[in-house]
Amino acid sequence: MHKHKILLIDDEQPILNALTRVFHNSSYELFTATSAEQALGFLERNNIDLIICDYQLGGMNGIDFLENISKDNPDIINILLTAHADLDMAIDAINRAVLYKFIMKPWNDNNLLITVRRALEQRDLIIENKRLMNEIKKRDIYIKQLEKESPGITDIKRDDSGNIIIE
Amino acid sequence: MTNNKVKQWFPDMTKLYKPYCYEHLISNEKGQVCVYCPLVSTFNDGKIHEQIVDYDFEGHIRKFRLISSPVRDSSGSIIYGIELIEDITDKVNSEILLSEKNQQLESANKFLADSEKALKNILYDMKEAHEKLKNTQKQLIQSEKLASIGQLAAGIAHEINNPVGYINSNLSTLGKYIESFTEILRAVEIFQVYFKDDQIDKAKNVLNELYEFERNNDIKYMISDVDNLLRETKEGVDRIKKIVWDLRTFSRADMGERKLSDINKIIEGILSIVWNEIKYKANLKKEYGEIPLIDCNPQEIGQVFINILVNAAQAIVDKGLITIKTYNDEEKVFIEISDTGIGMSEEVSSKVFDPFFTTKEVGKGTGLGLSISYDLVKKHNGDIYVKSVQGQGTTFTIWFPIIRR
């Protein structure tokens, strides 16, 4: 089974440690970063599925960071974890950071686990959906090609009881 | 008979020629006894009579007092009448003058009393106004303090909610660890019972289950982690305790009292309140000297440091350096707070202590921070001044007098 990869970003090591404990016995592969630079390194080298990102990162805020990486990685699920929120920040986050969830510190471990599981399920479904759509497109092209080469070959005729008639 | 004085008044009067006084009075045109003559009354009833009359002496009105009394013979019949005539004009005039003067004095007194009362009222009003002003200033300082806390609230919430976040999470993780440990203890107990009863097979089964449980739940990880978990959680609690303590010390509404205080310690307390404003903007360089204690109100001095430190952090665009230096000479303790921020023009730096002067956006600053800081430092008989170079940074220097006992 494909192991989902989660990237945790927070400038405070104890927060990363606590989150690591929360996800320890689950089936995810965890990466932790204490800065935006470090996080970018992980993003380049790994196929990250989901990011949980603190608002205040050294040098850059979480919204700017998520907005930046979303341009190149539109499929990654973004969750913002913040110790303080006001309306401006929330509006900014929703409009720019393409957020899946906005979670306040202190968080609830179980809710966080459920949120992450659902998000990943949803993401898997979307990716699966895309893959199937592609598959259909491919077959469609193939069928059209066949029809071109042998007109009528893709046309299926049936009798009244539904049996296929081969002429 | 008349005496000399009467002769002077009525020079023509003799025993033979016009012997009665009324015959000489200009005002008495009819030449008859005057209607008010007290002597007539004395002759009538034998009693002493008194009358005050005005005589016209060729235009000069003079006032006379006439007193008449009877003279009796041995049988008691009235034989003479004596009339005493006294010119009381001057006396009366001086009395009037006196009473006028008295009245003037009285009204002057009254005026004085009224004025004094009015003055007292004014004084009272002024005292009241002064009291009100003092209160207003107190409230202003408190509001400014609260406003600065309000502006710091996001940072303080961040500083508190971060540790609360991992403490909370760690505790629920710890709960899960304990559940697992309890499970193992229970298995060990069952194992011991079987082992005692020599039911070796059953005991082995329990042991195998235990191993499997340990593998499945990564008990080794839990055991290796639990010390770290507790240590980090404890550190988080200590962080919150410190922030709350510093915040309480600073924000009490009673304004605190003056006491001998360690300026370095006050700065350290304030740093934990404003830490979130500084940590992403600047590295902090502390150069604390071994300075004597200062007689001051730590809350008020703290307010000054908050204002200067927050301004310093805000003046830095990307990342800079804030240096806090304390030192002293014989008479003063100095505190220098420098930043490597954008600096100020001379025009701006000359106005920074003016009330309501601010370069910040509307709603971001009250324009009172440094003005109140200035007042608070002056109140402590110290001084505060600023040196700024545009593009290079700003240094605030504050000093307080050392009080030798």
**CA A152, CA A149: separation in Å to the nearest integer?**
9
The partner residue sitting opposite A86, judged by closest CB among B154, B163, B218, is: B154
Q: Tell me if chain A has a CB within 8 Å of the CB of B224.
A: no
For B153, the token pair is 């609230």
**Residue matched to tokens 């969830």:** A101
Residue B254 has pLDDT above 70, yes or no: no
Mean pLDDT of B153-171: 87
Residue B30 has pLDDT above 80, yes or no: no
- pLDDT in the model for residue B28: 64
Helix (H, G, I), strand (E, B) or coil at A16: helix
- pLDDT in the model for residue B37: 83
Burial class from Cβ neighbours inside 10 Å (0-12, 13-18, 19+) for residue B100 reads: exposed
- pLDDT in the model for residue A13: 94
Residues 227-286 of B with CB under 8 A from A: 228-229, 232, 235-236, 276, 280
- Average predicted confidence (pLDDT) for chain A: 89
- Average predicted confidence (pLDDT) for chain B: 86
Residue B22 has pLDDT above 90, yes or no: no
- pLDDT in the model for residue B253: 58
Mean pLDDT of A145-166: 82
- pLDDT in the model for residue B363: 58
Q: What is the pTM of this model?
A: 0.62
The partner residue sitting opposite B166, judged by closest CB among A18, A59, A108, is: A18
Q: Which of B151, B164, B166 to mutate to test the interface with A (most CBs of A within 10 A)?
A: B166
Residue A33 has pLDDT above 90, yes or no: yes
- pLDDT in the model for residue A66: 93
- pLDDT in the model for residue B76: 82
**CB–CB contacts below 8 A, A to B:** 71
Angle between helices A62-72 and A87-96 (to 10 degrees): 10
- pLDDT in the model for residue A8: 96
DSSP assignment of B152-212: HHHHHHHHHHHHHHHHHHHHHHHHHHHHHHHHHHHHHHHHHHHHHTT-HHHHHHHHHHHHH
- Taking CB atoms and an 8 Å cutoff, what residues of chain B touch A19? 169
pLDDT tens sequence across B135-150 = 887 777 777 777 777 7
- Taking CB atoms and an 8 Å cutoff, what residues of chain A touch B232? 14, 17-18
Residue B25 has pLDDT above 80, yes or no: no
pLDDT tens sequence across A127-138 = 899 999 999 999
- Show the DSSP H helices in chain A as ranges: 13-23, 36-45, 62-72, 87-96, 109-149
**Element (DSSP H or E) covering residue B142:** helix B89-196
Name the most confidently modeled range: A11-20, A148-157, B251-260: A11-20
Helix (H, G, I), strand (E, B) or coil at B39: helix
Counting residues of chain B whose pLDDT is more than 90, the rounded percentage is 35
Helix (H, G, I), strand (E, B) or coil at A153: coil
Q: Which long-range contacts (CB under 8 A, 24 or more apart) does B238-245 make?
A: B239/B159, B239/B163, B240/B160, B240/B163, B240/B164, B240/B167, B242/B272, B243/B156, B243/B159, B243/B160, B243/B272, B243/B273, B244/B160, B245/B269
- Å between B171 CA and nearest CA of chain A: 9
- pLDDT in the model for residue B365: 65
pLDDT tens sequence across B375-390 = 889 989 999 999 999 9
Mean pLDDT of A115-126: 92
- Taking CB atoms and an 8 Å cutoff, what residues of chain B touch A58? 280
Kindly determine whether residue B165 and residue A15, on different chains, have CB atoms separated by under 8 Å: yes
- pLDDT in the model for residue B84: 85
Helix (H, G, I), strand (E, B) or coil at A104: strand
Minimum CA–CA partner of A12 in chain B: B162
Residue B252 has pLDDT above 70, yes or no: no
Mean pLDDT of B24-42: 75
Q: Length of chain A in residues, anyone?
A: 167
Residue B333 has pLDDT above 90, yes or no: yes
- pLDDT in the model for residue A158: 82
Mean pLDDT of B48-69: 82
| Encoded amino acid at B19, one letter | P
Q: Tell me if chain B has a CB within 8 Å of the CB of A146.
A: no
Quote the Cα angle for B237-B240-B246, to 5°: 140
More confident residue, B146 or A29: A29
Counting residues of chain B whose pLDDT is more than 70, the rounded percentage is 93
Residue B59 carries which DSSP code? T
- pLDDT in the model for residue A43: 93
- Å between B165 CA and nearest CA of chain A: 4
> Beta strands B282-287 and B78-87: pairing type?
unpaired
pLDDT tens sequence across A53-86 = 998 887 788 999 999 999 988 889 999 998 877 7
Which residue, among B64, B60, B34, has the nearest Cα to B50 in the 3D structure? B64
- Taking CB atoms and an 8 Å cutoff, what residues of chain A touch B280? 56, 58-59
**CA B250, CA B299: separation in Å to the nearest integer?**
5
pLDDT tier, B15 (very low <50, low <70, confident <90, very high otherwise): confident
- Taking CB atoms and an 8 Å cutoff, what residues of chain B touch A84? 154-155, 157-158, 161
Kindly determine whether residue B218 and residue A83, on different chains, have CB atoms separated by under 8 Å: no
pLDDT tens sequence across B195-223 = 999 898 998 999 999 999 988 888 999 99
